[in-house]
Structure 1
Amino acid sequence: MNHNTPAPLSPRPLRHLADAQRRVMSGAQLKAHGVSAAAAQERCRAGGPWQRVLPGVFLLHPGPPTSEDRLHAVLLYAGRTPDLRHPADGVPAQPAAGQAHGGPGPAGLPCTDALVTGLAALALHGFAAAPPPASLHHIDVLVPRTRRLRSTEFARLVRATALPAPVQLSGVPVAPVPRALADAIGQLTDAGAVRLLLTEAVRGGHCEPAAVVRELTLARLLTRPHVVDAVDSLLAEGRAIAEDRLYAMVREYGLPEPLWNVDLRLPGGPHLGGVDAFWPDQAVAVELDTRTARAAGSDAFSEYVRKREHLERLGISVVHLTPRKLRESLEQQAMVVRTALMAAGDRDPAAYVVVLPR
C-alpha cells in the first residue's frame, strides 16, 4: 500500500451514534459509520435497542417514533442518500458523484429529491386543521416520477414530473403550501375537511387562492364536486380579504376617498363594467385582479380584457392590484395608485361616464 492508497475504514463504536443524537439513519449511513447490515438487524431484534421503521431505515432507540422521527424516516426511505464514508465530526457530508448539491436533509445529509407534502407538510407550515405527523397513518413524500420505489407502511409516495423548490421547516424539506394542499386534498373525501384546509390557507395568509386553484387544476381535482364547492367558497373568501386590504390601503395611506364598487356606463350607451374603486375627478379606476387559472381562455377572461381596453380607450386609467401585492407590499401599491391620481392632470380629459352603484 503506498501513500496514495486510502486506509481501510475501521468500525467505529456504536455509542457514538447515540452521542451524535441521530435518532433515525439509513442502512447506507450506518454502513458509513462501520455498522454492517447484519449488526443493524441484530440490534433490531425483540428487546433490542433499535428498531426498523421502514425498509432500510432504522430508529436508534426502542421507544415509539416521534413526529420528527417519522418525517426523517420517510425522507431517508424516499430520497437518494449517498453511501458515504463517515465524515469527521463537524464536516458536512458530500454528495456522491453526479448528485446535485442541495439543502441539508435528515442527519445533515443531502436530500434534494424528496419533499414532505400533503397533511404532514401542512402541519409543518402551521395549519391548525392538519393533524400532527405522529398521528397520521401515512406521511406523503413527493418524489420524481422516475423513482422506482413503492409506497410502503407509513411512507406514501406522490410522484411529480418536477419537484417544486423546497421550503425548509424545522430542518425538513417541505413542499410549498399550494402543492401540499393539492396533495392533501387528493387524498380527502370529506368536504368539511377540504373546506377547512382551503379556508385556513387564505385566512392564515399562507397563499393566494389563485395559486391553490392552479395546483388543483394541475392535479385534476376540480372535477370532484366537493372540491369545486370548497374552491368557490375559497375564491369568495379570498376576494373579501383583498377588498378589506384595499379599504385599509386607502385609509392608512391618506388616499382620497373613492367611489366604492361601482358600475360604469356611457351616457345612453352600453355598460362598461364594474370596478372596485373609482375616482371620477381623476378618471382613475382600481380593479382587483382575482382571476385564477380556471379563467384563462374562458368567456369571463375575454370580457375582462375587453373591459380594460375599452376603459383605457375612453381615457380612464385602470390600476390592477392583485391580492398578493396587497398582502405583501401595501405601501408600494398605495404609491402606485397615488401616482396614477397625480398623473391625471397630464392626460387628455377622459370621456364622460355615468357611475352607478354595483
Structure 2
Amino acid sequence: MTHNTPLSPRPLRHLSEVHRRVLTAAQLRSHGVTSAELTEQCRPGGPWQSLLPNVILLHPGPPTSEEWLHGALLYAARESAPGVPSQPTAEDPHRPAYAEAVITGLAALTLHGFASAPPLLSLDHVDVLVPRMRRLRSAGYVRVLRTPSLPTPRTVTGLPVAPVPRALADAVAELTDAGAVRRLLTEAVRAGHCEPASVVRELTVAKLLNRPHVVDAVDSLLAEGRAIAEDRLYRMVREYGLPDPVWNVDLRLPGGPHLGGVDAYWPEQAVAVELDTRAPRQDEDALWSEYARKREHLERLGITVVYITPKKLRVSLEQQAAVVRTALMASGDRDPAAYVVVLPR
C-alpha cells in the first residue's frame, strides 16, 4: 500500500474516502506494512507522516479537516478485537468505526453547522469524549475529556458527534469570552438546534453556572427561548384557526387573591395556556411545586390549564393546536367556571 501523491482536499460529505488516507499503525500492519517499511515511509520528506501517536497520514501535505477529525477519532477510539475490522467495509458500511470516542466542544458545534463556531482547521485542538475508565492521554491536537457515561452521539458527516447541549457545555467550559459564549448559546436556540432547558441542564451538570459570564449568557438564552416560544404560540393560534384569546394576562378572584399569570386565556371557555419554560436549575422542585399549586387552584375554579413546552411547539405544532382545540370544545360539557378578573400582565 503506497500513497505517494497528496490527495486533494474533499468536502466533509466525502468522508468515506478518508478511511483510505488515515490509518493506524495497527491497521497498516494488518495490510502487510512492516515496522521498518512504516518508519521508512514516515521519514522526513517521505510520502507519509505521523499525524498522532500511532496514527498515520498517507500523504505528505497538510491534513484536510476530515483527515484531522478522523485521525483524532482513530487515536481516541478503543482498538477493535483481533481480527475484527475497525473501519466500515463494503459488506457492512454502517458498522460503527470509532468505539468509545465522541467529538465534542467547538469542533462538534462546527460540525452541527453553528455559524458562530470557528472553522475546524482554525482550532488548536479537538475535544474527544471517552469513558472515564479509559487510560488515554491527550496528545498532539487531541484533548481527551473523560466522562462517566458517553452521550448517545449524533452522526454528522459520518462522525460520532455529541448532541448540541453537551457539545455546548464542553465548549463553554473552556471559553472566557462572554460574547462568544452568548453567541453560541443564542444560536443554539434561535437556529432550532435545541431547547434552552436542555442547555441549562448540561451547564448545571458541568458546574458552570457559578461563572458570571455564563450566568449572563444563560439569562439571555432563556429570554431568547421564551420569545421564540411565544411567537410559535401566536402562530399556532393563527395558522390552525383557533379563536383569539387574550394574551399574557393575570387572573385573580374579584376582590380576592392573585391566581397567577397565563400566556393565553379564553374567558368564555375558561381555558388557559401556559408555556412551561422552566430551566432545570437547583430550585426546579420548588418551581414545579409552584406550577402545580397554581394549576390545582385554577382547576378547582373550573379553569382548564394546558401546559405546553417550547419543544412541543417546535416539533408538533399541529398536535398542540389539537390539544387546545379539544379543551375549548370540552368546555360546554363542564360546569361553569368561577368568575375571574382578567388583567394585562
TM-score (norm 1): 0.89
Match of 1:157 among 135, 138, 144: 144
1:277 matched residue in structure 2: 264
**SS in structure 2 of the partner of residue 238 of structure 1:** helix
Mapped contact 2:278–2:284 kept (Cα < 8 A): no
Match of 1:113 among 84, 93, 100: 100
2:10 matched residue in structure 1: none
CA distance in 1, matches of 2:306, 2:315: 17
Mapped contact 1:261–1:276 kept (Cα < 8 A): yes
2:69 matched residue in structure 1: 71
CA distance in 2, matches of 1:238, 1:213: 12
1:90 matched residue in structure 2: 90
CA distance in 1, matches of 2:72, 2:242: 52
2:78 matched residue in structure 1: 80
Mapped contact 2:4–2:47 kept (Cα < 8 A): no
2:238 matched residue in structure 1: 251
1:309 matched residue in structure 2: 296
| CA separation of 1:16 and 1:30: change in aligned 2, threshold 3 A | farther
Structure 1 residue 136 displacement after superposition: 0.6
Aligned residues: 333
- Within a 5 Å distance, the mapping from 1:45-56 to structure 2 comes to 45-56=43-54
2:90 partner letter: G
Mapped contact 1:32–1:86 kept (Cα < 8 A): no
Mapped contact 2:189–2:196 kept (Cα < 8 A): yes
2:23 maps to 1:25: yes
Match of 2:222 among 235, 259, 268: 235
Structure 1 residue 14 displacement after superposition: 3.7
2:244 partner letter: E
Structure 1 residue 90 displacement after superposition: 2.4
**SS in structure 1 of the partner of residue 281 of structure 2:** helix
CA distance in 2, matches of 1:333, 1:295: 29
Aligned Cα RMSD in Å?
Answer: 2.1
CA distance in 1, matches of 2:153, 2:109: 13
| CA separation of 1:16 and 1:313: change in aligned 2, threshold 3 A | farther
> For 1:258-301, what per-residue CA distance to the aligned partner results, in whole angstroms no more than 9, with x for missing partners?
00000000111100000000001000000000011116545433
2:341 matched residue in structure 1: 354
CA distance in 2, matches of 1:283, 1:295: 33
CA distance in 2, matches of 1:225, 1:214: 17
- Within a 5 Å distance, the mapping from 1:302-341 to structure 2 comes to 302-341=289-328
Structure 1 residue 154 displacement after superposition: 0.4
2:196 matched residue in structure 1: 209
Mapped contact 1:104–1:111 kept (Cα < 8 A): no
**SS in structure 2 of the partner of residue 149 of structure 1:** coil
Mapped contact 1:28–1:82 kept (Cα < 8 A): no
Structure 1 residue 37 displacement after superposition: 3.0
**SS in structure 1 of the partner of residue 37 of structure 2:** helix
> For 1:126-182, what per-residue CA distance to the aligned partner results, in whole angstroms no more than 9, with x for missing partners?
001111221110100011001110111100011111111111111111000000000
Mapped contact 1:33–1:85 kept (Cα < 8 A): no
TM-score (norm 2): 0.92
CA distance in 2, matches of 1:224, 1:317: 40
Give unpaired runs (5+ residues) of structure 2: 8-16
CA distance in 2, matches of 1:220, 1:203: 24
CA distance in 2, matches of 1:25, 1:84: 16
Question: 254-263 vs 25-34, which deviates more?
Answer: 25-34
Structure 1 residue 36 displacement after superposition: 2.4
Give unpaired runs (5+ residues) of structure 1: 1-12, 94-102
2:132 matched residue in structure 1: 145
| CA separation of 1:307 and 1:86: change in aligned 2, threshold 3 A | closer
CA distance in 1, matches of 2:27, 2:128: 20
CA distance in 1, matches of 2:116, 2:81: 38
CA distance in 2, matches of 1:89, 1:166: 21
Structure 1 residue 82 displacement after superposition: 1.6
| CA separation of 1:82 and 1:38: change in aligned 2, threshold 3 A | farther
> For 1:282-328, what per-residue CA distance to the aligned partner results, in whole angstroms no more than 9, with x for missing partners?
00000000011116545433322211111111111000110000000
| CA separation of 1:16 and 1:345: change in aligned 2, threshold 3 A | farther
Mapped contact 1:104–1:171 kept (Cα < 8 A): no
| CA separation of 1:85 and 1:48: change in aligned 2, threshold 3 A | farther
Identity %: 69
CA distance in 2, matches of 1:18, 1:135: 21
Structure 1 residue 38 displacement after superposition: 3.0
